[in-house]
Amino acid sequence: MVQAGDTLSSIAWRFGVTVDHMLVANGLTDADLILTGQQLVVPIASSPDEPAITPGENETASGSQPLSQVYVVQPGDTLFAIATQFGLTVSEVMLTNDITDPDWLSVGQLLTIPPAGRPPSYPAPFAAVQLSPAPVVQGQTLVVRVDLDEPATLSGEFDSRPFHFVGDRTGGWALVGIHALQPTGVYPLILRASLSYGPQVTATVNVAVGAGVFDTEYISVPPDRED
């Protein structure tokens, strides 16, 4: 709570954060406009070189590790770098924050960071699913690796396009081409396992597609050959 004589600068110095972090965390635009008795959110930074994060809504009263955090986007940040820093996938961060384009971040933007260390669960017989590269970008090929805990025949679908697996009935891998003009965003990757005794089990993995970088060449055409 703001005390008489406090300034945003003195509060920031007291807690080892920057004035900019205080402004962003509290939705303020003027560092001089704070009032006695006003309650402020103070970002947490372990060291001056670490980016500021604010406690999530589910932090315990004892001050233990919060279940979620709020991250302030810094200059030069990418969604992949932020996700890697917190042990998450790009898709997890995108889905938590309703982001549709992994390349669209702005300095000072607040991102909710979900808890890490909880591997995704898939219905049996899916034991594990690995995707690389992550994130995948336009024009790249996504490698999908699936491990099964009981024999089944695998098939899959990405953006309504089927793809096929190579391997045995305990798992396999597949190559999924991402079109160079595929719009950026999050897409469901649908995996199907057909069991020998009849039922087909479906698992869905969200895949973030980022913008690719392509060379551009300009060709001059004489006016008499433009047709």
Q: Which domains does the chain have, with CATH numbers?
A: 8-113 (3.10.350.10), 126-210 (2.60.40.10)
Question: Among 26-35, 155-164, 183-192, 205-214, whose mean pLDDT is lowest?
Answer: 26-35
pTM above 0.75, yes or no: no
- By the 8 A CB rule, do 129 and 205 touch? yes
- Check pLDDT > 50 for residue 58: no
Report how far residue 84's alpha carbon sits from residue 81's, in angstroms, rounded to the nearest whole number. Answer: 5
For residue 206 the two structure tokens come to 């969200």
Per the listing, tokens 């004589």 go with: 5
Mean per-residue pLDDT, 187-215: 88
Amino acid (1-letter code) at residue 164: H
User: How many Cβ atoms from other residues are within 10 Å of residue 100's Cβ?
Assistant: 11
Calculate the alpha carbon distances from 50 to 76, 85, 87 in Å.
Answer: 14, 11, 16
Residue 75 or residue 15, greater confidence: 75
Mean per-residue pLDDT, 174-181: 95
Per the listing, tokens 């940040």 go with: 77
pLDDT tens-digit map of 61-86? 334 444 467 788 888 888 888 887 77
Q: Using 50, 70 and 90 to split pLDDT, how confident is the model at 136? A: confident
- By the 8 A CB rule, do 148 and 170 touch? yes
Calculate the alpha carbon distances from 127 to 163, 184, 188, 223 in Å.
Answer: 20, 29, 19, 62
